[in-house]
Amino acid sequence: MSQLAFWRSGSTRVLPGFGLSMGISVLFISLVLLLPITGLFGQLANLSLAEYFAIITEGRVVASYMVTIGAAAVAALVNAVFGLLLAWVLVRYEFPGKRLLDALMDLPFALPTAVAGITLATLYAGNGWVGNIIEPMGFQVAYTWVGIALAMAFTSIPFVVRTVQPVLEDLPAEVDEAAMSLGATDGVAFRRVIMPHLWPALVTGTGLAFVRSLGEFGAIIFIAGNMPYETEITALMIFVKLQEYDYAGASAIASVVLFVSLALLLAINIWQGRFVRRLHGGKG
């Protein structure tokens, strides 16, 4: 009875401090997230709708979307495959240097992206360690869109590994052993038992990697070559507009990237909700 009385008194929550913690959270989000985005849209208010569409559909800018989205998609898919593999290796096996490899996974987050870009360009340029081996074989990486995808893959790999890893850790090896003991082959156990648990995390990680790649500038700019219509990324188009003191134009292009990113993240969230409900037997 006394417990019921506690429930009813004032707050409907057991945990105290909701007002304060929520208040601080909202303030923080407003300052670091909502305010800059509001500023971005404030700039857009200087444009008429026709001007806005003229800017975002200009040929060179559209070409940059293609380059950026194409390379980001390749980078995200490559990261999905290798990120999953890396997470698997890090969770399921014991080997010397495991802790080191685990720590290394966060390096792309810690390293200034410009440093990453310059390093990649140094390695893959025609006279670099990697470049002077692969270029005679006919593969050019630096100053092509492959280089762009490479830089994107580098900066976004932690997203996949770090989202898949904890889920895999919660999935004991006994689960696949049970599947095998019931007669499942390796492939079936992987597809029907393990993957269903990993999909939401893998898709989220891949989505985050993709979105991160869309906005990347520092790492890419040194390895892209920046040739109009061929290897210009959208972030460079924004940079060019800023260079021209065209704040509204820069905001217009940035808003396209923002909308694409938001739409994708939202879609993943919705899909994930449904998937998880279906997985646990609820009505989807």
**Chain positions contacting other proteins, by CB under 8 A:** 35-40, 42-43, 55, 58-60, 113-114, 118, 121-122, 125-128, 142-143, 216-218, 221-222, 225-229, 235-236, 238-247, 249-251, 254
Closest CB to other proteins among 203 and 210? 210
Quote the least distance from Cβ 73 to other proteins, whole Å: 21
Closest CB to other proteins among 153 and 224? 224
Q: Bin 90: left if φ > 0, else alpha if -120 < ψ < 50, else beta.
A: alpha
Contacts of 105 (CB under 8 A, 6+ apart): 86, 90, 157, 158, 161, 162
> Are residues 19 and 27 in contact, defined by beta-carbon separation less than 8 angstroms?
no
Quote the least distance from Cβ 141 to other proteins, whole Å: 12
From CA 74, how far away is CA 76, in angstroms rounded? 5
Closest CB to other proteins among 17 and 42? 42
Closest CB to other proteins among 178 and 227? 227
For residue 44, CA distances in Å to 29, 31, 206, 215 come to 22, 20, 30, 19
Quote the least distance from Cβ 212 to other proteins, whole Å: 12
Nearest of 132, 125, 129 to residue 147 by alpha carbon: 125
Quote the least distance from Cβ 149 to other proteins, whole Å: 18
